[in-house]
Amino acid sequence: MTPRRRRSAGGGRRAQRNEAARLTEQLLDAGFNKKQVGEILGRNPSLVSQFFTKNKGASMVEALRAVVQEVQAGGPRDVTSLKALAAGYVRPRLNKAGYKARVRRPAVLRAEKTVRDRKGRPVIGDDGKPAKTWSSSLARAGRQHIASGASRLRPVVEDAARFGGKIGFTVRARKGAFKHDAGRIADSPGLRRNVVQRRDGTEERAYADNRGGPGSGEEGFDGREFKAMVDAAGGDVAAAVQRWLVDNDRIEPGTPIVGLEIRAWMPRED
């Protein structure tokens, strides 16, 4: 029989791994896990796995090398310290044209805060853990999701209505469809008016119920009133927003919305 060919001492998958994977391997050998490595780099742990499976991570090599050197030199091993160190080395990902690539943001976010008593101590719930209450929600929808009813936007509106929160939104539509010039106070009083213009001829504008005008801050729509407006539109948040824009002379009737972000938050108690 022909003898089996032996693998070379440095062969196998480990030898074929890219630099990001090899450096990550050293951190794993030092006792870290992929979730911690992701936190140190300020990235999702799934990206760390792709160092090994999809040959990714070239932009993270310098940061990983700095972290590995810090660990091997006996420096701080806590994630917070290593994350601060890595932040100075992480390079933004570039697209094929050589420009900074856009970072995909989560489509849905929901935040809670710990309930505290008058002395600032956490209130403990029946389960023995600190009680938490809703503080903010955010959801985004693109053209296709809006066309199908934008169901992920509805929970944000329901949170604001349930907890007495406020709502603001950013809408994206065809540039020529907006009735006010970009940046005019009459279009969006008291809000950020740095209109975001897109290459496809659309632009984004932010709105809220700022009856106090400039300098009043983002007052936002009353959550319960906004929910009633959405209910009147059959639960379609995008349709309700479009109706508000038309009724308040902000946009031409029939203009399709191609992007929508709904923000809800609990007002601060003064």
Strands 221-222 and 196-197: unpaired
Burial label, 202 (beta-carbon count in 10 A; 0-12, 13-18, 19+): buried
Name the β-bridge partners of 221.
167
Q: State the Cα–Cα distance between residues 87 and 84, nearest whole angstrom.
A: 5
pLDDT recorded at residue 9: 43
pLDDT per residue as tens, the chain (270 positions): 455 554 444 444 444 568 999 999 999 999 999 999 999 998 888 889 999 998 888 889 999 999 998 888 887 888 888 988 898 887 666 666 666 666 566 677 888 888 888 888 888 988 888 898 888 999 999 888 898 888 899 999 999 999 999 998 989 999 889 888 766 666 765 555 456 777 788 988 888 876 655 544 557 899 999 999 999 999 999 999 999 999 999 999 999 999 999 999 988 765
The answer to whether 99 touches 92, Cβ cutoff 8 Å, is no
CA angle 129, 132, 138 (to 5 degrees): 140
The answer to whether 226 touches 233, Cβ cutoff 8 Å, is no
Tell me the whole-structure pTM to 2 decimals: 0.59
Alpha-helix residue ranges (DSSP H) falling in the chain: 13-16, 19-29, 34-41, 45-53, 61-72, 79-87, 143-147, 154-163, 223-232, 237-247
The answer to whether 201 touches 183, Cβ cutoff 8 Å, is no
pLDDT recorded at residue 90: 77
Name the β-bridge partners of 109.
138
Q: How far is CA 26 from the centre of its chain?
A: 30
